[in-house]
Amino acid sequence: MEDSDEFPPQLGYVERMLGYTFKRKLLLVEALTHASYEQNTHIASYERMEFLGDSILDIVVTNFLYCAPGKEYSPGHIHSRKAAMVNAHILAYTCLRCCVYIDAAMPGPNVEGGITIQPITHPVYLWQCMLHSSPRVLEDQTQTVARFRRRHVEIEQALDSWTKFPWAELTQLQAPKFFSDIIEALLGVVYLDSQGDLDIVRGVMRNLGLMQILERIVEKDIDVLHPVSRLSLWASKNGKDLEYCYEMSKGEVTCVILVDGSEEVRCTGIYHGYASQGEVKILAAEQAIQALHLRDVGMNYTLMKRKNT
């Protein structure tokens, strides 16, 4: 297949999105292939590439934060900022927004009553380029894209102008893992195809918009403290007993936050697997922060030593 012209047509679209032309096209095919894909059993799924890309993303982001001019971040600071850049929610958002416009010109009537070619462009999104054979994946894509369309303006404004990282807003996309997997797999195959050139990987991350988010986090000192960590810091500092309880009912999961045994907030979301508990936990923590007026708690990160969960 490597020597033939029978590659999926979406490969060219993805190369345009990444700003990178692959020497070994089969690597790109592998990065786009979901485990459910049945039309070509000789192509491996993206799972190995996703694992590699996750590590490459960690390296690039950590190096940027460690070397940030004039910052000299402590390990806690580096970790908190890295967590904001490598989590599944921001990567899924990146996948959902990434697209390229293709020419879809068609004949149409002109003002003189004749027929001319009407210039039309049509967006092709990165998530549409994933190869799969699963009705469930198709349903997940449809539902997630609907949530993205309702919330993407708010998230974009938050990333462009807010002084805090939009953890809760990104979580509300409820994007299945395969959206973030695609981004990590693509970074992995770019690394392999470029023979380990991290400058090329950084260029691809810039074309995806990730480097710009990372730069703003550093330049504007964005408050990236995770809501769960902020709430835990407040509880620890003030001697409060904090407990998260979960309830399941009719396809929904509810997270109840108890403070000293009393219910403080209750947040419910759609259940779509174990990750749903983590998502609703973040939303509940954000609601508790607002209810308790804790926005400024923990901004110096002095008590933060462990990874967000």
CA dihedral 237, 240, 246, 252 (to 10 degrees): -70
Res 82: pLDDT: 97
pTM of the model: 0.87
Residue 14's pLDDT band (cuts 50, 70, 90) = very high
* CA separation for the pair 144, 130 (Å, rounded): 15
Amino acid at 82: K
Asked if 10-102+125-219 and 227-292 have one fold, the answer is: no
The answer to whether 255 and 244 are in contact (CB under 8 A) is yes
Q: Is the pLDDT of residue 309 over 80?
A: no
Q: Is the pLDDT of residue 228 over 80?
A: yes
Q: Are strands 115-118 and 106-109 parallel, antiparallel or unpaired?
A: antiparallel
Res 117: pLDDT: 62
pLDDT tens track for 141-180: 999 999 999 999 999 999 999 999 999 999 999 999 999 9
| Cβ count within 10 A of residue 12 | 17
Query: Is 301 or 241 the better-scoring residue by pLDDT?
Result: 241
pLDDT tens track for 239-297: 999 999 999 988 889 999 999 999 999 999 878 766 678 889 999 999 999 999 887 76
Task: Determine the average pLDDT of the residues in 56-64.
Answer: 98
Res 303: pLDDT: 40
The answer to whether 205 and 94 are in contact (CB under 8 A) is no
Backbone angles phi, psi at 22, to 5 degrees: -80, 135
pLDDT tens track for 70-126: 999 999 999 999 999 999 999 999 999 999 998 765 566 766 766 766 667 789 999
Res 194: pLDDT: 98
**Where exactly are the structural domains of the chain?**
10-102+125-219, 227-292
In CATH terms, 227-292 corresponds, of 3.40.50.300, 3.30.43.10, 3.40.50.720, 3.30.160.20, to 3.30.160.20
Q: Domain 10-102+125-219 is of which CATH architecture?
A: Orthogonal Bundle (1.10)
